[in-house]
Amino acid sequence: MEEFDYGVIGGGPAGYTVGMMLAKQGKKVILFEKDKLGGTCLNKGCIPTKSFLHSSDIYAELKKGAIYGICAESITLDFSKICDKKNQTIEKIRKSLELAVKNSGVYVVYAEACVKDKNTIIANNTEYKVNEIILATGSKPKTLKGLEFDGKFILSSDDILELTELPKSVLIIGSGAIGIEWARILSNFGVEVAVVEMAEHLIPLADIEVSKRIERIFKQKKIQYFLNDYVEKVEDNTVTLHSGTQLNPEKILVAVGRVPVCPECEAKSVLGDACGEIQLAHYAIHQAKAKALGIPFDKNLVPSVIYGEPEIAWVGIKEQDMDETYKKSVLPITALGKSWCDDATEGFIKIITKDDKIYGAHIISKEASSLIHILLTAIQNNISVSDLKKMCFAHPTYAEGIFDILSSL
């Protein structure tokens, strides 16, 4: 019987990353994947959602093309082609990933695996001996009592990716990244959207000022939302909220997060969503690097991004975490010439400082997903505000907004 140094169960970002990195160190690695390489991120999360979002953004921009001097008549929406584009994108990325894993020397078994003991994994009725087992078994959509998924009326974040036609109306339960992004996608496509959130504000994990601005943007886009509220009951496709409000959506999307899929077994390491910590692909990848290469990272400095127009990104402490020793500084995106050229003036750049150092950054803006890394680099490397001011930022850019806000300190 062939023996391996490592047996990795799960081929998502954590699993394939740790597998390839260990293999490149000369370790014998076997990876088990019951479905397709790429995990939730590639197949049911980040990538397909962003493909839909890009299509919806293009559609929304075309509809207002006249303000740019571009007059397009009879703009039509072919949702089947949008779905085809999403599937093609996934397939291209997956093929590239499969080749990378193969070239790294990882041996892949496409079968459901179970752990017999700390050194034995069974798949396809075959036993595989390994010196160490690493679990990277991912997560699944969280269910709510009374809102169990049926794949037709009540959908999970997996189910909604399989729609073949757009509904006329959708009620989204939860306003985290999944809920906000789908609210934007569906609204761009002309679907009537309502969001229900139990917390006092949308995106409850975000900075309070970010949450309030997104609420304002949703009002402008006519995306209805209900705060401090939840679904009391569903009868005959009529949804009654705790507040007494009744809604009749064509579909319900339950977007209240995901729960770990982590079988009880003898595994030395549990990585990615399965460990029940921060459920982000980049967090999983850095966990894998820490395991394989011993590269540590600060779990408090993992950036969060919510995509769409405008993008939302943050890292570090929030305004609600501040005491009197900290200072917040805010620059409206309208201060940037590039935003007027792009007709993307909604949002702000906000930083939280103390003693000439940055401790938090919160951005609503076009390109926020890239901008946040400038400030993350400064926070993680303990770069002072004084030193950042010495950088020359190009003009016109969104990035120069960081220089403008620092110059005011």
pLDDT of 321 reads: 93
Q: State both tokens at 217.
A: 């943007």
266 has a pLDDT exceeding 80: no
12 and 132 share one domain: yes
Domain span including residue 35: 3-140+258-293
149 and 121 share one domain: no
CATH for 168? 3.50.50.60
Q: Grade residue 267 by pLDDT with cuts at 50, 70 and 90.
A: confident
The more confidently predicted of residues 264 and 243 is: 243
Q: Grade residue 112 by pLDDT with cuts at 50, 70 and 90.
A: very high
pLDDT tens-digit readout, 215-246? 999 999 999 999 999 999 999 889 999 999 99
Within-domain flag for 94: yes
Within-domain flag for 389: yes
Q: Comparing 262-271, 280-289, 312-321, which segment has the lowest mean pLDDT? A: 262-271
247 and 266 share one domain: no
265 has a pLDDT exceeding 80: no
On the 0-12 / 13-18 / 19+ scale of CB atoms within 10 A, 232 is: middle
pLDDT tens-digit readout, 294-345? 998 899 999 999 999 999 999 999 999 999 999 999 999 999 999 999 999 9
Q: Grade residue 44 by pLDDT with cuts at 50, 70 and 90.
A: very high
pLDDT tens-digit readout, 51-83? 999 999 999 999 988 888 988 878 899 999 999
pLDDT of 341 reads: 96
pLDDT of 60 reads: 93
8 has a pLDDT exceeding 80: yes
pTM over 0.85: yes
CATH for 374? 3.30.390.30
For the segment 196-211, the average pLDDT, to the nearest whole number, is 97
Terminal Cα-to-Cα distance of the chain (whole angstroms): 66
Q: Grade residue 115 by pLDDT with cuts at 50, 70 and 90.
A: very high
Which amino acid, residue 115?
V
Domain count, the chain: 3
pLDDT of 152 reads: 95
Q: Could you give the CA distance from residue 280 to residue 270 in angstroms, rounded to a whole number?
A: 15
